[in-house]
Amino acid sequence: MPSKSVRVSITGAAGQIGYALLFRIASGDMFGPDTGVHLRLLELPAALGALEGVRMELDDCAFPLLASVTTTSDVDVAFEGTDFALLVGAVPRKAGMERADLLNINGGIFTAQGKAIGKNAAKGCRVLVVGNPCNTNALICQHASGLPAAQIFAMTMLDQNRAMTQLAQKAGVPVRTVKNLAIWGNHSPTMFPDYFHATIGGKAVTEVIPDQAWLEGEFLTTVQQRGAAVIKARGASSAASAANAVAKTVRELVSVTPAGECFSVAVPSDGRYGVPKGLVFGYPVRSDGKGCALVDGLTHSAYAQEKLAVTIKELEGERDGVRHLLG
């Protein structure tokens, strides 16, 4: 018998990430073997039929930790009393659509969902935005929800995992020996996977892989362009690896980060590291299980600072494009 339970809302639950994610949550992969899970699944009305099929499959797994499943297209029902809101559903960019159009269409979704979270969620509810452009969608959601900055997150864990594996494969070591790989900035090709402060087997990455041309070249572009490479190869965007990253992010948020370690997530900036206050920015953070703190006191080389400036500029541009939604 689980000793406690948690309410988790997932939007876009019938989508491809949703399909990979729900089973991970219901199996206990996110909150552990002592926590029962109530799933509240939000979809567009047109996808409720498909979602019903997913619910049947959840039933057919007979997961001992799955306490209940609610399916709905009503945001108020979806976020009622929720402890964790995982905002996965978003409108993808279509041919001929400008980035500004994408920001505005999704802006409408994240404003409505943010308001519903503010109105219905449990006190202390944490929100993780996955749907792209996730950093700016999180910014919109924060404003609409009125939630404190400390409860808003956007996902950069998939980028962290991608970068860790590239480094491990280059060094010929198990990926578990790679630590403290932080993704700075936007979840977009301008992100900066910070290998300077990461370690492999306790040593600096630059010591284990003294190939600066590879680190500044192939490594960086492979990580930054990995999403596009998966689409090209698979004919569909990353789904299982994205769901895995959602599960890992929430696990990190609800656990105490081991001493000397950190993980990547985007949070509303308080101005540190020269990032304009309010931008939802990828940082290395540490968790005490209830709240997160930025890793302080890291110094960036001129090269890294240049990379940070590019991703800051992109996020400022996105914020300026949705300023009318941040009133």
Let me know how many helices (H) and strands (E) the chain has, helices first: 12, 14
Residue 60 corresponds to which amino acid?
Answer: D
Least Cβ distance, residue 224 to ligand NAX (angstroms): 12
C-alpha triplet 207, 285, 308: angle, nearest 5°: 65
- CB 279: neighbour CB atoms within 10 A? 23
Q: Quick one: which of 166, 180, 238, 311 contacts ligand NAX (CB under 6 A)?
A: 238
Contact call for residue 171 and ligand NAX (CB under 6 A): no
Residue least distant from ligand NAX (Cβ): 15
Out of 77, 173, 239, 309, point to the residue binding ligand NAX (CB under 6 A).
239
User: Given the complex with ligand NAX, which of 89 and 193 has the nearer CB atom?
Assistant: 89
Give the residue numbers marked as catalytic. 187
> Cα separations (Å) of 138 from 130, 143, 265?
9, 9, 12
Among 25, 30, 242, 279, binds ligand NAX (CB under 6 A): 242
The burial class, CB within 10 Å (0-12 / 13-18 / 19+), for 306 is: exposed
What's the rounded Cα separation, in Å, for the pair 165 and 294?
24
Q: Which parts of 7-46 interact with ligand NAX (CB under 6 A)?
A: 11-12, 14-18, 42-44
Give the residue with the Cβ less far from ligand NAX, 132 or 311: 132
Give me the least distance between CB of 115 and ligand NAX, in Å please: 13
* DSSP labels, 65-98: TEEEEEEES-HHHHTTT-SEEEE---PPP-TT--
Which residues 256-275 are close enough to bind ligand NAX by CB under 6 A?
none
Q: How far is the CB of 99 from ligand NAX (least distance, A)?
A: 13
Region from 140-148, 232-240, 277-285, 318-326 binding ligand NAX, contact rule CB under 6 A:
232-240
Residues 47-76, one symbol each (x = binds ligand NAX by CB under 6 A, - = not), give: x-----------------------------
Question: Per rule CB under 6 A, is residue 130 in the interface with ligand NAX?
Answer: yes
Burial level of 175, CB count in 10 A (0-12/13-18/19+)? Answer: middle
Which residues lie closer than 8 Å to 45 by C-beta, 6 or more apart?
Answer: 73
Contacts (CB under 6 A) with ligand NAX, residues 131-160: 131-132, 134, 155, 158
Alpha carbon 251 to chain centroid, angstroms: 12
Q: How many CA atoms lie within 13 A of 82 on its CB side?
A: 32
Residue position matching structure tokens 């978003």 = 90
188 binds ligand NAX (CB under 6 A): no
List the one residue from 37, 85, 86, 90 that touches ligand NAX (CB under 6 A): 90
Q: Which of 40, 143, 187, 226 binds ligand NAX (CB under 6 A)?
A: 187
Q: Which of 141, 134, 198, 191 is nearest to 171 (CA)?
A: 198
Question: The tokens of 187 are what?
Answer: 């979840």
> Binders of ligand NAX: how many residues, by CB under 6 A?
29
Stretch in the footprint of ligand NAX (CB under 6 A) among 94-102, 126-134, 173-181, 301-309: 126-134
With binding defined as CB under 6 A, does residue 325 bind ligand NAX?
A: no
Residue 282 interacts with ligand NAX (CB under 6 A)?
no
36 vs 284, beta carbon nearer ligand NAX: 284
Record the tokens describing residue 68, joined without a space: 């209940």
Closest CA to 157 of 290, 251, 288: 251
Binding footprint of ligand NAX on the chain (CB under 6 A):
11-12, 14-18, 42-44, 47, 88-92, 109, 130-132, 134, 155, 158, 187, 227, 237-239, 242
